[in-house]
């Protein structure tokens, strides 16, 4: 591995490419941090946390972390397992912890475990209609389990990977029941506070805090003038909070991911499940593969507990499957990388851990594009810079994002129309629009659009 100075030089050389990726993806602001040997070695803050008022991003700017929350929820359950809180085990059946778990599917009802909830392998239906057009949560928290119990299982149980936020909503209920306190309170007292993560919570920043990233959404018609959007209301008190409610900044997340790396090094080396001075427990289990994400690859690409795993070189394309993504890390020694992406309206995030090198690449942004994911591709570019991928082997992420944007901007309407045509039930004649007026409930009677 290169010296720290060489790594820093490579990372600094990427700045113009990172700014171009932000421009193409209509991303107003980005916060970046890179850890090596357990120490922060590179930090970059680009653009604006508030584009309208030209307020810059800093290391303490709070961003929505979206699905980066999942690894922390899994870590909270790891504490419970290690300390036998609520007599919880990784293979505890959901119904044994939550008698309210009465899934309509017999296999899910009887066999689903804590590990199944965290590893996206249960085959459970994955609806996305819980988020409203004003970024409001449509499912009342008190109806959460009713909604989850009504979900079907369209895929075989434990047979394949299928990304599903609902597993983490169930995990939040499990953590709440086992710890005898709300899941986000447990994370605060057992992880955030011990690590002195004072700017991290499961709530959006209070109005009195000016250093909070405003979210933007890029519209096709105005790519250079992204629209300011209403902040998402997902929190520790709402449905799907355990899947994505964490808000934080790079200054705090460096502490969290350093703790993951230090704890992993200690617990793997000594066959421990806890580390002195660290709140994180059961880290080898948190990092252990549970389901294959891409059986067509010779190198590992799997999902653990709140983390995706990749043995480089290989594509980081299976969390939410994407086509034609290049291999990351060609031409350098192979590394196990644990990573995750996060996506919310007005926010994209990326984190990658390289345990052998005690390294981490972290990217937080405050923009969402309809066609490309700049945070993901900035993260991959930084990861290649960190690993020292040579000029002949490194990927041209600027060209990749240009090509993806051009293809998707030109095809999304036709893709939707094709999907609708292919899935339309044949033989039915449309009625007059007035005939469709009425009250429509989902099967669990938890959701009804207002007229």
CATH classification of the domain holding 251? 3.40.710.10
Complete edge-to-edge strand list for the sheet that includes strand 367-369: 222-228, 216-219, 367-369
In this structure, are residues 327 and 313 in contact, taking their beta carbons and an 8 Å threshold?
A: yes
Q: How many residues belong to the chain?
A: 451
Apex 399 CA angle, 13 and 58, nearest 5: 45
Q: Are residues 33 and 80 in the same domain?
A: no
Specify the pLDDT at position 192: 98
Q: Are 444 and 143 in contact (CB under 8 A)?
A: yes
On whether both 86 and 120 belong to a single domain, the answer is yes
Q: pLDDT, tens digit, for every residue of 75-110?
A: 999 999 999 999 999 999 999 999 999 999 999 999
pLDDT at res. 296: 87
pLDDT value, residue 189:
98
d(CA 33, CA 212): 17
pLDDT at 263: 98
Phi and psi, residue 352, nearest 5°: -140, 130
Same domain, 272 and 315: yes
User: Could you identify the residue written with the tokens 């709440």?
Assistant: 176
Query: Distance of alpha carbon 20 from its chain centroid, rounded?
Result: 24
Do 283 and 170 belong together in one domain? Answer: no
Q: What is the pLDDT of residue 259?
A: 98
Token pair for 93: 């059946």
Are 260 and 373 in the same domain?
A: yes
Is 305 a domain residue?
yes
Cβ atoms of 369 and 219 within 8 Å: the answer is: no
Are 262 and 294 in a shared domain? Answer: yes
Output the pLDDT for position 223.
Answer: 60
Determine the pLDDT at residue 406. Answer: 76
What pLDDT is recorded for position 130? Answer: 86
Compute CA distances 173 → 15, 83, 89, 320, whole Å: 42, 18, 15, 25
Is residue 388 packed enough to be buried (19+ CB in 10 Å), middle (13-18) or exposed (0-12)?
middle
The answer on 102 and 44 residing in a single domain is no
Residues 379 and 260 reside in one and the same domain? yes
Instruction: Looking at the structure, tell me whether residues 167 and 207 fall in a common domain.
Output: no
- Residues 96, 49 within the same domain: no
Total tally of structural domains belonging to the chain: 2
396 and 281 housed in the same domain: yes
Q: Is residue 431 part of a domain?
A: no
DSSP of 371-407: S--HHHHHHHHHHHHHHT--TTTS--HHHHHHHHHHH
Q: Which domain holds residue 29?
A: 4-69+203-232+245-405
Q: Flag residues of the chain having pLDDT under 50.
A: none
């Amino acid at each position: 591995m290169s010296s720290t100075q060489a790594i820093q030089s490579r990372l600094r050389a990427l700045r113009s490419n990172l700014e171009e990726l932000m421009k193409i993806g209509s991303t107003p602001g980005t916060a970046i941090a890179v850890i090596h040997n357990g120490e922060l070695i590179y930090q970059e803050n680009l653009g604006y946390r508030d584009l309208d008022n030209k307020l810059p991003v800093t290391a303490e700017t709070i961003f929505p972390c979206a699905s980066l929350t999942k690894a922390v929820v899994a870590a909270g359950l790891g504490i419970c397992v290690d300390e036998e809180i609520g007599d919880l085990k990784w293979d505890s059946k959901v119904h044994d912890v939550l008698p309210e778990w009465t899934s309509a599917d017999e296999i899910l009802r009887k066999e689903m475990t804590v590990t199944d909830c965290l590893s996206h392998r249960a085959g459970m239906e994955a609806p996305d209609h819980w988020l409203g057009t004003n970024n409001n949560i449509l499912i009342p928290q008190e109806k959460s389990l009713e909604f989850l119990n009504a979900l079907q299982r369209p895929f075989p149980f434990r047979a394949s990977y299928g990304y599903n936020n609902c597993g983490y909503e169930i995990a939040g209920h499990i953590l709440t029941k086992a710890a005898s306190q709300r899941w986000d309170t447990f994370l605060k007292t057992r992880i955030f506070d011990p690590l002195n993560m004072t700017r991290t919570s499961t709530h959006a920043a209070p109005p009195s805090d000016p250093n909070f990233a405003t979210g933007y959404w890029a519209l096709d018609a105005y790519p250079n003038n992204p629209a300011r959007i209403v902040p998402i209301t997902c929190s520790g008190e709402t449905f799907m909070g355990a899947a994505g409610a964490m808000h934080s900044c790079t200054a705090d997340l460096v502490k969290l991911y350093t703790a993951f790396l230090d704890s992993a090094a200690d617990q793997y080396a000594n066959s421990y499940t806890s580390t002195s001075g660290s709140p994180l427990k059961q880290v080898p289990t948190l990092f252990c593969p549970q389901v294959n994400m891409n059986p067509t690859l010779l190198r590992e690409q799997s999902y653990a507990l709140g983390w995706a795993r990749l043995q480089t070189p290989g594509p980081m394309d299976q969390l939410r499957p994407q086509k034609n993504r290049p291999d990351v890390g060609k031409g350098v020694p192979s590394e196990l990388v644990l990573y995750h992406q996060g996506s919310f309206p007005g926010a994209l995030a990326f984190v990658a851990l390289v345990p052998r090198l005690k390294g981490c690449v972290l990217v937080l942004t405050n923009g969402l594009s309809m066609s490309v994911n700049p945070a993901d591709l900035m993260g991959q570019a930084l990861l290649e810079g960190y690993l020292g991928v040579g000029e002949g082997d490194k990927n041209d992420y600027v060209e990749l994002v240009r090509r993806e944007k051009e293809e998707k901007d030109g095809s999304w309407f036709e893709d939707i129309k094709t999907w609708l045509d292919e899935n339309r039930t044949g033989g039915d004649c449309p009625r007059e629009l007035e005939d469709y007026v009425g009250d429509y409930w989902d099967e669990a009677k938890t959701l009804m659009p207002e007229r």
